[in-house]
Amino acid sequence: MAKIIVVTSGKGGVGKTTSAAAIATGLALRGNKTVVIDFDVGLRNLDLIMGCERRVVYDLVNVIQGDAGLNQAMIRDKRVENLHILPASQTRDKDALTSEGVEKILDALTEDFDFIICDSPAGIERGAQLAMYFADEAVVVTNPEVSSVRDSDRILGLLSSKTRRAEQNRDPVKEHLLITRYNPSRVDGGDMLNLDDICEILAIDLIGLIPESEAVLRASNQGIPVTHDQKSDAGQAYTDTVSRLLGETVPLRFHEYQKKGLLSRVFGGGRR
């Protein structure tokens, strides 16, 4: 029986699709059969991050409308055997998504997978609401800035009231906080919210902190989820996040500003 996890945010551009790809990859690398679904109809990006854009033939809307079977639309990842991608449509309208169609797909996938990762569009429109409606758990992605945190608080309200679990009076969706693009030196300078302030405002468990890193942009441009880059701080931070998602206790890294010594300033040595 698969666990359905939505990766969501109120604000766009916070690294949600990057996080969905990285988390799905990390789960699959740990031996879990995982599928990641792109719910951002009209603005498809997950296939680019996963490096399979040229292999897309059918998509999520095709399956919902009966134009293709689920197995025809799913793409097997070339790097990780246990990982599959179900892309979004780039040409259809968001109204093409229906609750009945999404439920049917999720029910079918639940039989064969351990984890279903739903990459939600930003905001609170239909695609985002459908991505979270059937979720068992939610990873709420936010940047350390006021507008992003405020929008995340709005998403938490929807998770507690507009999901199937809420409507059926079941245990609520388990919420996790993922902070991305965290830069300790800018936090120390007062340019970003600090970790404690974000956690206090949103009041949900912190599952991961991803440092601001060139490795993320490099991985996205190469179509390789950053989890594969274990030499980078971001890749290690996503791996830590996956471990916590699996119930393991892992110390938090990359949240303190490390001042460079004289040798580092002279000869370099910045993190990748």
pTM: 0.92
Domain extent, residue 127, equals 1-136+211-254
Task: Give the model confidence (pLDDT) of 202-250 as tens digits.
Answer: 999 999 999 999 999 999 999 999 999 999 999 999 999 999 999 999 9
- The answer as to whether 122 is a domain residue is yes
- The answer as to whether 191 is a domain residue is no
Into how many domains does the chain fold? 1
- The answer as to whether 21 is a domain residue is yes
Task: Give the model confidence (pLDDT) of 124-156 as tens digits.
Answer: 888 899 999 999 999 999 999 999 999 999 999
Nearest C-alpha neighbor of 87 from the set 19, 37, 42, 25: 37
Q: Supply the CATH number for residue 227's domain.
A: 3.40.50.300
- The answer as to whether 81 is a domain residue is yes
- The answer as to whether 36 is a domain residue is yes
- The answer as to whether 201 is a domain residue is no
The binding site for ATP consists of: 11-18
- The answer as to whether 160 is a domain residue is no
The binding site consists of: 11-18
- The answer as to whether 82 is a domain residue is yes
